[in-house]
Chain A
Amino acid sequence: MESQLQGKTVLVTEATRNFGHITAQALAKEGAALFLSTLDQQVQLEAIRHDVSTLGVKVVTGQHDISDEAQAQALVERCIAEFGRLDVVVNNVLYPVPTQSLEELSFEQWKRKIEVETTGSFYLFKHVLPRMIEQEWGRIINYTGLDAFKGSDLLAGATELGIVGLTRGMAREYGKHHITANCIGAGGIETEDVEGRHAFPPGARDPIPRWGRPEEIAFLTVSLCSEEAGYVTGQCLLANGGKYFL
């Protein structure tokens, strides 16, 4: 499937987390130039940059904490300085906090995860959207997860459903500029436990009782970037082996 990303620039935030590496590879194979950012994993990010650039595309990296609006702005400005355009944002932002009870979870931990993932996303899109509006084209892909639907983690569930709200908002508010915003909700992917995210191992009662593969998420991400996906917006696509039907 041709996704027409040749000549397009894609920003992948927190590209060291979860499916970031495999997603960057998949986007590079479609010809996209890439800006990969991280909050604090510069060494891991450099390894990814080195690997993905062998696919023949320009890859630039940066360290930015998007919970600081000035850094979110600087991130977008750097993209524009390096590439002259910003067409797609794959917002892989994640600030892992171990699953805890309400009693154990401090207000500081609660606030910090929300600050990075929810407010950080708000600041990021505040500076991304004007560029996409100028271009009259854009693709925004955010990630949610199973905690939002199962209630299995009260903090991750909050940020995961919060990003769905922000995605629907942007979809409604900016669709007229040929900008689509969608969420992909992964659950039961084999990389989960590595990241310290709440893992959903396969269960005998799952419709598809196996671990999911990161490539199966990257496929959806790349598909939503395409021109053909231009009529899909404000949606939540759950790739979870059928563990939850939305």
Chain B
Amino acid sequence: MDTGLAGKVVLITGATRNHGRASALAFAQEGAHLLICTRRSMDLLEETAALAAKSDVRVLTDRCDVTDESQVNAFVQKGLAEFGRIDVVVNNAGWRARGALLDITSESWNATLATNLHAPFLMCKAVMPSMVAHRWGRIINYSGIASFRGASGASAKMACEGFTRGLANAYGKYHITANLIGPGSIAVDRTPGQEIPAGQGTATDDIPIPRQGVVDECTSLVVFLASEQASYITGQTYLVNGGAYFL
């Protein structure tokens, strides 16, 4: 399948490891140039860039706190100066508030809102003029299984769904699509403090596909949604969760 991504410019937030890195490398293999950022793990980001560059694409890296409006704008402007356009945005950076509502601190709540909701807003707002001017765009945001099964800490991801549907509705006429991927239980490296407490993650023993997923099983969907082939798919949510929840 020809994804049509060769020569396109893909922005990925949090591209240091797991889904972010895997997506960056997959897009590079499709011939897309990369604009990637991290809040504080520049060494891992440069590693991603070095790996991606093997596919003979241009990679621009930068430090960016995606919850900060001026940093987001500066990052996007740097990318536009380098590449002249941004075609795909993957708002991969995420942060979960774990535990039931009464266990979530105000700090944790506000952090999850900032990363999962404000950051996609800021990034899309900064990039949209370029997508509109070029009459082409792909926005991929992240939901998750928790929003559907019920977890107070995942409210921000659910709110991002609502925002993404709004983007789909407003920008479809410019050949811009906006969709969400909701990974289920995927084997990933977790930041200390973001581990899933026992009993809180999705048990995989009795789901239709009784195992954890691997990152590549989500990456293929990210690339597909960004491709020319997915041009009639917008405002949708795809759960990659082994069938743990049917949407």
Contacts and interface: CB of A to CB of B under 8 A. Distances in A.
A165 B158 contact: yes
Main secondary structure of the interface of B (DSSP, over half): helix
B183 interface: no
Interface in A31-58: none
Interface in A200-239: 234
A125 interface: yes
Given A169-B101, A170-B101, A151 B109 contact: no
A190 interface: no
Determine the interface band of chain B, counting residues with CB < 8 A from chain A: 35 or more
A159 B161 CA distance: 10
Contacts of A155: 163, 166
Contact of A129 (B102, B109, B150, B169): B102
A78 interface: no
A211 B161 CA distance: 27
B184 interface: no
A101 B170 CA distance: 8
A126 B100 CA distance: 10
Given A107-B122, A110-B121, A164-B158, A151 B101 contact: no
Nearest to B235: A151
Of A69, A155, A157, A174, most buried by chain B (CB within 10 Å of CB) is A157
Nearest to B128: A102
B129 interface: yes
Contact of B165 (A69, A126, A151): A151
A105 B169 CA distance: 16
A151 B152 CA distance: 22
Contact of B159 (A105, A111, A165, A169): A165
Determine the interface band of chain A, counting residues with CB < 8 A from chain B: 35 or more
A163 B156 CA distance: 9
B113 interface: yes
A107 B150 contact: no
A154 B23 CA distance: 26
Contacts of B166: 147, 151-155, 157-158
A151 B169 contact: yes
Nearest to B156: A162
A122 B101 contact: yes
Contact of A69 (B106, B118, B157, B158): B106
Contacts of A129: 101-102
A69 B69 CA distance: 25
Interface in A150-200: 150-166, 168-174
A172 B151 contact: yes
A126 B155 CA distance: 14
Interface in B131-155: 147-155
A102 B113 contact: no
Main secondary structure of the interface of A (DSSP, over half): helix
Nearest to A160: B162
A157 B100 contact: no
B159 A161 contact: yes
Interface in A10-39: none
A165 B144 CA distance: 11
A67 B88 CA distance: 34
A52 to B, nearest CB: 30
Of A125, A130, A153, most buried by chain B (CB within 10 Å of CB) is A153
B154 A165 contact: yes
Contacts of B156: 118, 162, 165
Given A118-B113, A157-B162, A165-B158, A111 B118 contact: yes
A158 B169 contact: no
B101 A158 contact: no
B37 interface: no
15 contacts: A102-B125, A107-B125, A114-B113, A114-B159, A147-B162, A149-B165, A150-B165, A154-B165, A157-B163, A158-B166, A164-B158, A165-B152, A165-B155, A168-B149, A169-B150
Given A122-B152, A165-B152, 17 more contacts: A69-B106, A102-B124, A102-B167, A107-B125, A110-B121, A118-B155, A119-B113, A123-B106, A147-B166, A155-B166, A158-B117, A164-B158, A168-B148, A169-B100, A169-B152, A173-B101, A174-B100
Interface of B: 69, 100-102, 104, 106, 109-110, 113, 117-118, 121-122, 124-125, 128-129, 147-163, 165-170, 235
